[in-house]
């Protein structure tokens, strides 16, 4: 049973999944803050979307507006400098027959959760909320449930805290994620997340498709489009 009086820190990129998690957290916790990470990602446009998404979601519900607190931004340029990934380098985005997708950023979620825990401790927040998902994902090992559970143990041991990492999308496919959004905030929340969030790895916001902005070709766009089609189908 979730204690509604506890505060939460949402790992908030400006994308569909983290926006869904923000709405989920605002529906449950008395105080919600957000944290975003600039790590030199080629789709850094997602960082520019964050304020609009936060304001748009909070504006849908007076209770959510009251509960939404500060936004924190953390400069992790050093991660992008050392990580060999198509998200931090101008290299081809593809999924090989064997091995990890070229968009995998080694250690990204491990670093994100560590810094999120540091921010949460400073803000006296116990719960961390992330959009990691093992059902519809690109094969990233740091999105797996086992990884997140292990990180929770490591953070609590290493920081002498009792953090809880919530991953409300872990066992949902993209269509189910859209249904969750509709349950939380109706069509208005669906539309806000569809139009204002950003998922495209190419950082493309030239064309608004039925499922949102993007290039319509990268793995993130294809996954989002397929989920939307299944949701609306």
* Averaged pLDDT score across all residues of the chain: 91
Percent of the chain topping pLDDT 70: 94
CATH of domain 7-232: 3.40.50.620
pLDDT digits (tens, 9 = 90+) for 28-74: 999 999 999 988 776 677 888 999 999 999 999 999 999 999 999 99
pTM of the complete model = 0.93
The Cα 85–Cα 104 span in angstroms is 6
Choose between 88 and 218: higher pLDDT.
218
Q: Which two tokens stand for residue 63?
A: 């209770």
**pLDDT at residue 2 in the model:** 53
Domain ranges of the chain: 7-232
pLDDT digits (tens, 9 = 90+) for 88-121: 776 777 777 667 777 777 888 999 999 999 999 9
Beta bridge partners of 32: 8, 68
The Cα 74–Cα 36 span in angstroms is 6
Could you tell me where the DSSP H helices lie in 34-162?
A: 45-58, 62-67, 77-82, 108-122, 145-159
On whether the CB atoms of residues 200 and 220 are closer than 8 A, the answer is: yes
């Amino acid at each position: 049973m979730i204690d509604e009086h506890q505060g939460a820190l949402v790992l908030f990129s400006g994308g569909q999944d983290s926006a869904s998690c923000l709405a989920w957290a605002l529906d449950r916790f008395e105080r919600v803050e957000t944290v975003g990470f600039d790590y030199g990602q080629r789709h850094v446009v997602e960082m520019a979307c964050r304020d609009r998404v936060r304001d748009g979601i909070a504006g849908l519900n007076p209770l959510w507006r009251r509960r939404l607190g500060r936004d924190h931004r953390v400069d992790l340029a050093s991660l992008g400098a050392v990580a060999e990934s198509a998200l931090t380098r101008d290299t081809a985005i593809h999924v090989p027959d064997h091995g990890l997708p070229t968009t995998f950023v080694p250690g990204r979620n491990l670093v994100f959760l560590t810094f999120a825990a540091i921010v949460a401790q400073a803000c006296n927040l116990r719960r961390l909320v992330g959009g990691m998902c093992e059902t519809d994902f690109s094969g990233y090992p740091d999105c797996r449930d086992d990884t997140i559970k292990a990180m929770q143990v490591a953070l609590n041991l290493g920081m002498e805290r009792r953090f809880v990492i919530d991953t409300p999308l872990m066992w949902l496919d993209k269509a189910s994620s859209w249904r969750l959004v509709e349950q939380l905030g109706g069509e208005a929340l669906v539309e806000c997340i569809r139009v204002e969030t950003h998922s495209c790895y190419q950082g493309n916001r030239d064309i608004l498709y039925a499922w949102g902005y993007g290039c319509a070709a990268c793995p993130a766009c294809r996954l989002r489009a397929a989920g939307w089609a299944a949701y609306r189908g």
